[in-house]
A and B are shown apart, each in its own frame.
With several copies, the nearest count.
Chain A
Amino acid sequence: MNDRKPKNIFTQGAISPAFIGESIAKHSSQKNIGAHSLFLGQVRSDMIDGKTVAAIDYTTYEEMALEKMQQMRETLFEKYALTCMHIHHSLGRVAAGDISLFVFTSASHRRAAIDACAAIVEQIKAELPVWGKEIFEDESYHWKTNTAI
């Protein structure tokens, strides 16, 4: 058992591109890193039944999500030779075109960084208790469903 308080991954509203740039810059002092892999989820203005998605409103079961993320993190570090991993997920309203998920893995060599990033993105989509409510331009809504692509 790990009694350490899980690391927070949630941030209110969209994740800014400038924050992503700053996160990248922070790694220049880690000179054993040779490869970074980043995944960004951007809110699409999908058309559903003739209405256009203007934003997604994200909610979570935070205590459970953070515990789950901590377990996924530990399993991932056992499987891949990572230097570090950072995960940021939005809560609340994120407008179409803005970023709601930022996954960032770093390693000495590219295969570990790329494979770990792809693996954790799938786990986040499938196993993290987060729900997206797609808000249309007229403020009506539709509960988002995740697909395997």
Chain B
Amino acid sequence: MEIMLRAFGQLTEIIKTNVVALPDGADSDALVQELQKMYPALAAKKYMIAIDKKTISRNTGLAEGSTVALLPPFSGG
């Protein structure tokens, strides 16, 4: 299945794709593993994950067409 990927802030410098192909039934942990394989620099970075605009606090299932965003610490204002 295809996952839409969005990176923000500092992570835009590491992540260069906006689509990731994963086996059907993959979850957010699987996505992170795949991304770290593609972009080893990601492992050292601090970020939260949002699936379809909701941040998650534990491993969460993904579906075809889910939009996953990687959010480094916010620094607005």
Q: Residues of A with Cβ closer than 8 Å to B? A: 41, 58-61, 63-64, 67, 89, 100-101, 121, 124-133, 143-146
A132 near B50 with CB under 8 A, answer: no
B25 part of interface (Cβ distance < 8 Å): no
A133: B residues at CB distance < 8 A? 9
Q: How large is the interface on B (under 10, 10 to 19, 20 to 34, 35 or more residues)?
A: 10 to 19
A143 CB, nearest partner CB in chain B, Å: 5
Question: How many angstroms from the CA of A61 to the CA of B5 in the assembled complex?
Answer: 12
B11 CB, nearest partner CB in chain A, Å: 9
B50: A residues at CB distance < 8 A? 61, 64, 129
Question: How many angstroms from the CA of A74 to the CA of B8 in the assembled complex?
Answer: 26
B69 part of interface (Cβ distance < 8 Å): yes
Please tell me which one of the listed residues B6, B9, B77 contacts residue A121 in the complex, with CB atoms under 8 A apart. Answer: B77
Known: A67-B53, A129-B71. A61 touches B76 (CB 8 A): no
Q: Mark B9-30, 1 if CB is under 8 A from A, else 0.
A: 1100000000000000000000
A130 near B74 with CB under 8 A, answer: yes
A64: B residues at CB distance < 8 A? 50, 53, 69
**Would you give 27 A-B contacts (Cβ < 8 Å), ordered by A?**
A41-B77, A58-B76, A61-B6, A61-B50, A61-B53, A63-B53, A64-B50, A64-B53, A64-B69, A67-B53, A89-B76, A89-B77, A124-B77, A125-B74, A129-B69, A129-B74, A129-B76, A130-B74, A130-B76, A130-B77, A131-B9, A131-B10, A131-B74, A131-B75, A132-B75, A132-B77, A146-B75
Question: How many angstroms from the CA of A143 to the CA of B13 in the assembled complex?
Answer: 11
B65 part of interface (Cβ distance < 8 Å): no
Question: How many angstroms from the CA of A131 to the CA of B46 in the assembled complex?
Answer: 14
